[in-house]
Amino acid sequence: MLFLTRTLPLVIAFSCGVLAIAIYYVPHSAAQGMEEKLTLWLRIVAAFAYFLGLYSLLNLHWNRIRQHQAGWGYSVVAAVGFGLMFFFAVINDGDGPFAPQAKQGAYQWMFDNVQVACASTMFSLLAFFISSAAYRTFRARSPEATILLVAAVVVMLGRVPIGAYISDLIPEAMLWLLSVPNLAAKRGILLGVSLGAIGTALRIIFGIERSYLGGGEE
Amino acid sequence: MKALDIDRRIIFIFVFLGVAIPLMVDFTLPIKPTPPVIAAYDAFEKVAAEKPGSTILLSFSYGASTAPEMQPMARAVLRHCFRLGFKVVAICLWPDGVGLAESVLAEVAEEMGKKEDVDYAFLGYKPGTIAVILNMGQDLHTAFPVDSKGVSLAQLPVTKNIHPLTDFSFVFDFAAGDSIEFWWIPYGQEKYRFPFAGGCTAVMAPDLFPFLQSGQMLGMLGGLAGAAEYETLIGHPGQATEGMRPQSVTHLIIIAFIILGNGMYFLSRRSSGQATG
Amino acid sequence: MTRDSYLFIGFLLLFAAVNAALLATGAIAADWTGFGVILAAGLTLSLYSFLYKDNPLYKFVEHLFVGVAAAYVLGLVWYNTLLAEIVNSLILGEGKDRWSLLMPSLLGALMLTRLVPRIAWLSRIAFAFVVGLGAGLTIPRYISSFILAQMEPSLRPITWSIEGLNLVIILVGVVAVMVYFFFSVEHTGVVGGVSKVGIWFLMISFGASFGYTVMARLSLLIGRTQFLLDDWLHVMK
């Protein structure tokens, strides 16, 4: 049983990982064909992964409703919203769920008038909080904080037309800040992040990193 | 000092007025395009001159939460592409970008007299991010067997002769997340070396400057300001240009708050220092 | 009744009155499109009520959004992948090629066994495939596009010009930032000095990111305000 639950997955991860690396360096058409097949498989498996997240969300709200936890009424609202949109998706503007997705209909209407409105409004709320935070907490307490503050002000002024209206030097300074010191820092971070990602990928392939196997009995 | 503990709702009111009033009052501010945006514009022009009537790929990797920034950008780029005579193939790598991509394609195509399937095609969304790009690298028809209407790509005039990604003369990604940096560049542009540029939300823009310098990206539109600059370059001011008025005013308001907050802070430190000293 | 209750009722009455006026004057059409605009405006203002304080109306709309968004993605996954590729190709399709979809479909089904505790161990096979393949795809591409392609422009020949000076600054900055993130050596002496320079570069970068983030969030607010003032109230010129 240990072979099936632990050894076999590690062997699969190792094989797939080494195969993917080898395919990259082998220009033969057979290798390229294999890459096409494997990535097609990856794409289809990724679609199934969505259902895990969906189950998690629905299960959370269902438990809240069943156990009458605090705020369970809102979980009913989430369930109603889900049910309504699901119903419209199935109806598919009268064509049913086995025809290509309709471009009109209630499903699209709900997206345009509920999802777009709510999603963009939620994120736009941050504009208010970032402004409030800038006033209350953005302090030049140290030389480093001062550098950060000055850079932020130069970028905020330089990125909008009013900066150029005040002085041509402001957008020039903004461009220099972004394409020289900012670039250097981002590149340093990128190099570090990619080295870390490569290290983690190697650990996964060699079976040292096994956290992705979580779930189920050993 | 009491001014430092001001009710944040007063700040909210200032921010809202800073946005609302400039939208209702008409005044112009000259918009000067910056080098990354000019580079993206020039890249499109160059490809159009070298390969007239060729097919380009637009990837919509944003959703409803960033629509106010990205939709004006998509409109401007799409207008430019249609004006240059490109055939456009559009895909979505983010699920909730489908409705947005469809609406902007339909709107601009109707405005410019372009026909679906002949001048442009919308292939819809596929989950899998990097796997989709790798699939497209080999064969577009494997990644997207049918378009969003269920019609086989082999039957569409726009896509029937397009197979690997290198058959596209240009690829442009509209990115709300890290699709440019961690999907398109390592899994697409790195191997197939197609001309590539991108438009992103302002949050992502500073992260992409290393790729501009290395040549992995030919140009970049950053946020609503980038969209406004592109509208200026194509001579078609729109929602982004309109948005630069409130953007300018609110930036000044926030800078004023930062300076005021720091001024109050240093004054309060000096007065408490004098009190103890 | 509390003050907040009065505010809530007042808000609802004002919203209803404004919409009635807009419908009566024909500014908003009395059809599904017009109703959609009114609904979107109502949802937007309900979410903005959070700026006053957290309240039941905000929570109601927030949870509604969560449910609608989850079902929207479900619809897309069904129509774009499961129906188009598995049902129409594998199950209803013809030809030998379609059998190549059987294996990934089985792997996908194995992934779903994670939801059943007794057979959840089967999902490890699917996860091992996804994670192992992903790791293998990552390594050579990250080396090529992030390490080699990013190091080359940092090491270009330096000239006696502004561009040359900028290249020197970039090189110094990249090295300094990487030294800062190297925690295996204590940051004292020369290493400490270089690390300090790295912090300055990072502060400039974070300041630039903050400035751009402010711009991004304000752009979203501008977009929503444009919707409210133009598409809904029709007061913009």
> Does residue C237 form part of some domain?
no
CATH of the domain at B97: 3.40.50.10160
What's the whole-number average pLDDT of chain A? 91
The per-residue b/e assignment along B52-61, b for 16 or more CB within 10 angstroms, e otherwise, is eebbbbbbbb
A170 touches chain C (CB under 8 A): no
Residue with tokens 């596209």: B168
Global pTM value: 0.92
C-beta atoms of C223 and B201 within 8 A: no
Query: Mean pLDDT across the stretch B71-90?
Result: 97
B33: left (phi over 0), alpha (psi -120 to 50) or beta: beta
Please tell me whether residues C9 and C75 are part of one structural domain.
yes
Q: Count of CB atoms within 10 A of residue C157's CB? A: 6
Please tell me whether residues B171 and B88 are part of one structural domain.
yes
pLDDT at position B74, please?
97
Pure H helices in C143-235:
149-154, 162-180, 189-226
Interface of B with A in 16-75 (CB under 8 A): 16, 29-32, 34-35, 63-68
In total, how many domains does chain C have? 3
Nearest neighbour of C218 by CB, restricted to B239, B242, B250: B250
Question: What are the strands of the beta sheet with B196-200, ordered from one edge?
Answer: B120-125, B87-92, B55-61, B170-175, B196-200, B220-222
Q: Count of CB atoms within 10 A of residue C216's CB? A: 28
Interface of B with C in 15-54 (CB under 8 A): 15-16, 19-20, 23-24, 26
Domain that holds residue B109: 35-237
Please tell me whether residues B113 and B206 are part of one structural domain.
yes
In total, how many domains does chain B have? 2
Mutate: best of B27, B65, B257, partner A, most A CBs <10 A: B65
Of the candidates B94, B142, B148, the residue with the CA atom closest to the CA atom of residue B121: B148
Distance (Å, rounded) from C-alpha C67 to C-alpha A65? Answer: 14
C-beta atoms of A100 and B64 within 8 A: no
Tell me what ipTM this predicted complex has: 0.91
Check whether C16 has a pLDDT greater than 60.
yes
What confidence category does residue B3 fall into, taking pLDDT thresholds of 50, 70 and 90?
A: low
> Does residue C126 form part of some domain?
yes
Domain that holds residue C108: 95-154
- Written as six digits, the tokens of B108 are 């601009």
| Helix, strand, coil in percent for chain B, rounding step 5 | 60, 15, 25
> What digits encode the pLDDT tens for the residues B206-226?
999 999 999 999 999 999 999
Residue of A nearest to B246 (CA): A160
Q: Is the CB of residue B199 less than 8 Å from the CB of residue B184?
A: no
Tell how far CA B100 is from the center of its chain. Answer: 13
Of the candidates C76, C64, C72, the residue with the CA atom closest to the CA atom of residue A80: C64
What confidence category does residue B130 fall into, taking pLDDT thresholds of 50, 70 and 90?
A: very high
Query: Mean pLDDT across the stretch A137-146?
Result: 90
* Domain final residue, candidates C93, C115, C146: C93
> Does residue B30 form part of some domain?
no
What confidence category does residue A218 fall into, taking pLDDT thresholds of 50, 70 and 90?
A: very low
Residue type, C61: V
Distance (Å, rounded) from C-alpha B223 to C-alpha B216? Answer: 20
Of the candidates B209, B220, B115, the residue with the CA atom closest to the CA atom of residue B174: B220
Query: Mean pLDDT across the stretch C69-98?
Result: 84
Please tell me whether residues C21 and C68 are part of one structural domain.
yes
> What digits encode the pLDDT tens for the residues C158-211?
889 999 999 999 999 999 999 999 888 888 899 999 999 999 999 999 999 999
Distance (Å, rounded) from C-alpha B10 to C-alpha C33? Answer: 35
> Does residue C124 form part of some domain?
yes
Distance (Å, rounded) from C-alpha B180 to C-alpha C145? Answer: 12
pLDDT at position A217, please?
45
> What digits encode the pLDDT tens for the residues B35-44?
999 999 999 9
Give the 3-state DSSP-derived string for chain B, with helices as H, strands as E and coil as C.
CHHHHCCHHHHHHHHHHHHHHHHHCCCCCCCCCCHHHHHHHHHHHHHHHHCCCCEEEEEEECCHHHHHHHHHHHHHHHHHHHHCCCEEEEEECCHHHHHHHHHHHHHHHHHCCCCECCCEEEEEECCCCHHHHHHHHHCHHHHCCECCCCCEHHHCCCCCCCCCHHHCCEEEEEECCCHHHHHHHHHHHHHHCCCEEEEECCCCHHHHHHHHHHCCCCCEEEHHHHHHHHHHHHCCCCHHHHHHHHHHHHHHHHHHHHHHHHHHHHHHHHHHHHHHC
Q: Count of CB atoms within 10 A of residue C53's CB? A: 10
> What digits encode the pLDDT tens for the residues C38-76?
999 999 999 999 998 898 999 999 999 999 999 999 998
Q: Higher confidence at residue B210 or residue A5?
A: B210
> What digits encode the pLDDT tens for the residues A19-58?
999 999 998 889 888 988 898 898 888 888 889 899 999 9
- Written as six digits, the tokens of C75 are 């619809």
> What digits encode the pLDDT tens for the residues C118-129?
888 899 999 999
Please tell me whether residues B199 and B68 are part of one structural domain.
yes
Using a CB-CB distance cutoff of 8 angstroms, which residues of chain C are in contact with residue B206?
A: 205, 208-209, 212
Query: Mean pLDDT across the stretch B236-244?
Result: 94
% of chain A beyond a pLDDT of 70? 98
Please tell me whether residues C162 and C226 are part of one structural domain.
yes
Residue with tokens 């670039």: A183
Using a CB-CB distance cutoff of 8 angstroms, which residues of chain A are in contact with residue B257?
A: 131, 134-135
Please tell me whether residues C21 and C62 are part of one structural domain.
yes
Please tell me whether residues C147 and C170 are part of one structural domain.
no
Please tell me whether residues B148 and B12 are part of one structural domain.
no
Pure H helices in chain A:
2, 8-25, 29-66, 72-91, 106-110, 116-137, 143-158, 161-166, 169-177, 183-205
Mutate: best of B69, B132, B241, B258, partner C, most C CBs <10 A: B69
Please tell me whether residues B171 and B97 are part of one structural domain.
yes
| Residue B152, helix vs strand vs coil | strand
Pairing type for strands B170-175 and B55-61 reads parallel
Check whether A123 has a pLDDT greater than 80.
yes
Please tell me whether residues C72 and C115 are part of one structural domain.
no
B12 touches chain A (CB under 8 A): yes
C-beta atoms of C36 and A113 within 8 A: yes
Using a CB-CB distance cutoff of 8 angstroms, which residues of chain A are in contact with residue C68?
A: 81-82, 84-85, 110, 114-115, 118
Please tell me whether residues B233 and B256 are part of one structural domain.
no
C-beta atoms of C121 and A217 within 8 A: yes
Check whether A136 has a pLDDT greater than 90.
no
pLDDT at position B201, please?
96
* Cα separation of the two ends of chain C: 41
